[in-house]
Amino acid sequence: MGTLDPGFTEMLSGDFYTRRLASEAGESTLVLNMGPQHPSTHGVLRVIIELDGEYILRAEPVLGYLHRMHEKMAEDRTYIQYLPNMGRVDYLHAMAWNWAYVGAVERLAGIEVPERAEYIRVIVTELNRISSHLVWWGAYLLDLGAFTPILYAFEDREIILDLLQIPTGSRLTYSYFRPGGVAYDINEEFLAGLKTFIPYMRGRLPMYRDLVTDNIILKGRLEKVGVIPLEMCRRYGATGPVVRGSGKRYDVRIAEPYSVYGRFSFDIPTHSDGDCMGRYLVRMAEIEQSLAILEQAAESIPPGPHLVKGAPKVRWKPPAGEAYFAVEGARGKIGVHLVSDGTNTPYRCKLRAPGFSNMSLFAELSRGVLLADAVAILGSLDLVIPEMDR
Amino acid sequence: MGSSVNASWLHGLDVVASAAMSREKTGLVRAVFLEPEALPEAAARLDEAGYFLEDLSVVDTSEGFLVVYHFDHFETPGRVALRVLVPHERPVVPSISGVFSGADWHERECRDFFGITFTGHPNLIPLLLPEDSDIHPLVKEESARKRLAELIPPGDVEKSSAAFEALFAPLAPPEAEAEAKEGGEGAPGSRPECAPREAKADPGGEKPSPESAS
């Protein structure tokens, strides 16, 4: 038994972030790294936790494991070449990111979008929103110890992926929007598939409710857990189902109207409790509302071009200036701030990721909760790590 | 123009310039230029008025780093931008994380990407870049920087100052003429191509004299 190598003891004390947190930790507490590889962090999120028994005293998220510097990439390619990046920021709701970026470019250059293209955008974005919520639902219940729901969720999501594959050619990282419209028109096969999907999905929701939502164990795990006061949402800039789960009827589709959303009648589901159950119920209700939008859009979609004449090509230059465009993504408010110097490359492209702001309240929220509840809270925030890290 | 949006939080605030913006064209309803020292006060007022912080963006221009704070409101939507220009040599901005808790991460991100120091930040350590990283990837080379006036439209300026006039002088002749009586000191200095930088350094630092134009 020789003495330990000093390098080895240093390694045991953890990395920069662990040591930093541990230096302020109490004597009888445990500093625990949850992640970056942990089943409930869905990707590579890391949270350093100081535990007293099973209770969390402090938690510090460590980000950046999926950081790809999308904002720098924007300055390195033309406006059109940057489009595929948008499908890779948030792989679950890629359409909304497509829209936020393309919307900023259109606002910057004053590009008109044909009516049919607006309808197509609404349809694919809402379909994608449902598929995103389905993945969240299945994965969240997996976190909570229920294995079966994800099998149902993925069965239904598969139909959406098949549908979206028809106009886009891809199943996950869509790069479908173009400044001035969308890349390809939707066809009869897609519309027919959509029209059978809407009643099918409606029929599945009661089964979801019976199987999971009314389940007594689920209620025990989620009710009164992770209560986020509305004021906390505001201080952190939390949006989407998080702020709606805390009782505020705030949705970018209504608050900052864009496209043709004003023509459809749909509700903005809210819940006043602000707990994990509130956020859960808001997302489940949003699936129904997206179906309502899809139904109206599929019935009233007008004929016409899917892309404006003279739409920007690869070396296109917008005028100098700045534009901010926001859309409602599955996780909240997605914003793109573009600054142009009149060349064919963005001078600056800032991406506002809703998950970033939603996650930033976790450190405060998790103080004093059980470790098992922290898993329920993380899942209820619907985190997509590549979107937070960008 | 979105100028009808209630801006009572602005009253009596020490600003370099304030402008109503076209929501259709820029996505903003108001843009307010501030001296860095005035930022915490402005943030506190927005907090009191019920705004939330959307994001924090920085634009690297030849005059310095333009730090842009975007705010929005849950009940009365309308994006407000607070803008602060700091020199490249001394990029220091007071932190607003004490007012808006969400600013904590946004400021850490800006430190990573641009090397900006936020004074009073409780935990200004790397967020997205590795902890031993010593590069600031979004800082531009001097030759790639553009003048602020070439990038950011000043909007419908309601309140202005000499420092602001100097920044935008060559691009906005109608406003420059209108304010020529008050901004007499700043206008001649802004003639040559490189002057605005010096002009910024002196009236910007010493006399943030906001003069009402409307």
Contact assignment for B57 to A337 by CB distance below 8 Å: yes
Asked, as a colleague might, if the bond just before A36 is cis with ω within 30 of 0, I would say yes
- Distance from the Cα of B52 to chain A's closest Cα (Å) equals 5
Query: What average pLDDT score do residues B67-86 get?
Result: 91
- Band (pLDDT 50/70/90 cuts) for residue A28 is confident
Q: Which residues of A touch B150 (CB under 8 A)?
A: 320, 341-342
- Band (pLDDT 50/70/90 cuts) for residue A215 is confident
Searching chain A, which residue's CA lies closest to the CA of residue B139?
A: A72
Contact assignment for B151 to A320 by CB distance below 8 Å: yes
What is B8-159's CATH topology? Beta Polymerase; domain 2 (3.30.460)
Of the candidates B102, B132, B151, the beta carbon closest to that of A357 is on B102
Contact assignment for B59 to A234 by CB distance below 8 Å: no
What is the per-residue DSSP string for A218-269?
Answer: HHHHHTTSS---HHHHHHHT--THHHHHTT----HHHHS--TTGGGS-----
Whether the per-residue pLDDT at A96 is higher than 90: the answer is yes
Q: Residue A54, Cβ neighbours under 10 Å: how many?
A: 10
Secondary structure of residue A301 in the 3-state scheme: coil
For domain A70-389, say whether CATH 1.10.645.10 is its number.
yes
Query: Bigger pLDDT: A363 or B162?
Result: A363
Whether the per-residue pLDDT at A23 is higher than 90: the answer is no
Domain ranges of chain B: 8-159, 161-207
The proportion of chain A whose per-residue pLDDT surpasses 90, expressed as a percent, equals 61
Q: What is the pLDDT of residue B51?
A: 93
Alpha-carbon torsion A361, A235, A101, A283, what sign? positive
Query: What average pLDDT score do residues A88-113 get?
Result: 92
Contact assignment for B102 to A250 by CB distance below 8 Å: no
Mutate to test the interface with B, among A338, A350, A359, A389 (most CBs of B within 10 A): A350
Whether the per-residue pLDDT at A52 is higher than 60: the answer is yes
- Distance from the Cα of A172 to chain B's closest Cα (Å) equals 25
Q: Which residues of A touch B25 (CB under 8 A)?
A: 107, 110, 321, 323
Contact assignment for B102 to A248 by CB distance below 8 Å: no
- Distance from the Cα of B18 to chain A's closest Cα (Å) equals 17
Query: Bigger pLDDT: A114 or B177?
Result: A114
Q: Which residues of B touch A347 (CB under 8 A)?
A: 59, 146, 151
Compute the mean pLDDT over every residue in chain B, rounded to the nearest whole number. 77
Alpha-carbon torsion B200, B204, B206, B209, what sign? positive
- ipTM of this complex: 0.87
Q: Which two tokens stand for residue B38?
A: 């005035």
Q: Which residues of B touch A73 (CB under 8 A)?
A: none
Q: Please check whether residue B133 touches A, CB under 8 A.
A: no
Query: What average pLDDT score do residues B18-27 get?
Result: 84
- Distance from the Cα of A226 to chain B's closest Cα (Å) equals 18
Cα B71 to Cα A262: distance, rounded to the nearest angstrom: 24
Q: What is the pLDDT of residue B201?
A: 39
Q: Which residues of A touch B74 (CB under 8 A)?
A: 234, 243, 248, 250, 255
Digit-coded pLDDT (tens) for A128-175: 999 999 999 999 998 888 888 999 999 999 999 999 999 999 998 999
- Distance from the Cα of A220 to chain B's closest Cα (Å) equals 30
- Band (pLDDT 50/70/90 cuts) for residue B169 is low
Calculate the alpha carbon distances from B58 to A337, B70, B115 in Å: 10, 11, 11
Q: Please check whether residue B130 touches A, CB under 8 A.
A: yes
Whether the per-residue pLDDT at B1 is higher than 80: the answer is no
Contact assignment for B102 to A104 by CB distance below 8 Å: no
B123-131 CB contacts, 8 Å cutoff, 24+ apart: B124/B95, B125/A17, B125/A20, B126/A64, B127/A63, B127/A64, B128/A63, B128/A64, B128/A67, B128/A389, B128/A390, B129/A64, B129/A67, B130/A64, B131/A15, B131/A16, B131/A17
Domain ranges of chain A: 70-389
Q: What is the pLDDT of residue B109?
A: 93
Q: Which residues of A touch B26 (CB under 8 A)?
A: 107, 321-324
The amino acid present at A338, given as its one-letter code, is: L
Q: Which residues of B touch A64 (CB under 8 A)?
A: 126-130
Query: Bigger pLDDT: B5 or B195?
Result: B5
The neighbouring-strand residues paired with B156 are: B20
Question: Residue A300 burial by CB count (10 A; 0-12/13-18/19+): exposed, middle or buried?
Answer: exposed
Q: Which two tokens stand for residue A210?
A: 């019976």
Q: What is the pLDDT of residue A242?
A: 93
- Band (pLDDT 50/70/90 cuts) for residue B210 is very low
Query: What average pLDDT score do residues A210-239 get?
Result: 90
Query: What average pLDDT score do residues A24-40 get?
Result: 80
What is the per-residue DSSP string for A7-29?
Answer: HHHHHHT--HHHHHHHTT--TT-
- Band (pLDDT 50/70/90 cuts) for residue B6 is low
What is this structure's pTM?
A: 0.84
Query: Bigger pLDDT: B185 or A184?
Result: A184
Q: Which residues of B touch A323 (CB under 8 A)?
A: 25-27
Compute the mean pLDDT over every residue in chain A, rounded to the nearest whole number. 90
Whether the per-residue pLDDT at B206 is higher than 50: the answer is no
Whether the per-residue pLDDT at A292 is higher than 90: the answer is yes
Contact assignment for B26 to A69 by CB distance below 8 Å: no
Digit-coded pLDDT (tens) for B129-161: 888 888 899 999 888 888 888 888 877 777 777
Query: What average pLDDT score do residues B37-44 get?
Result: 90
Query: Bigger pLDDT: A18 or A297?
Result: A297
Q: What is the pLDDT of residue A2?
A: 62
Cα B144 to Cα B26: distance, rounded to the nearest angstrom: 24
Query: Bigger pLDDT: A35 or A56?
Result: A56
Calculate the alpha carbon distances from A101 to A174, A353, B87, B117 in Å: 13, 12, 30, 29
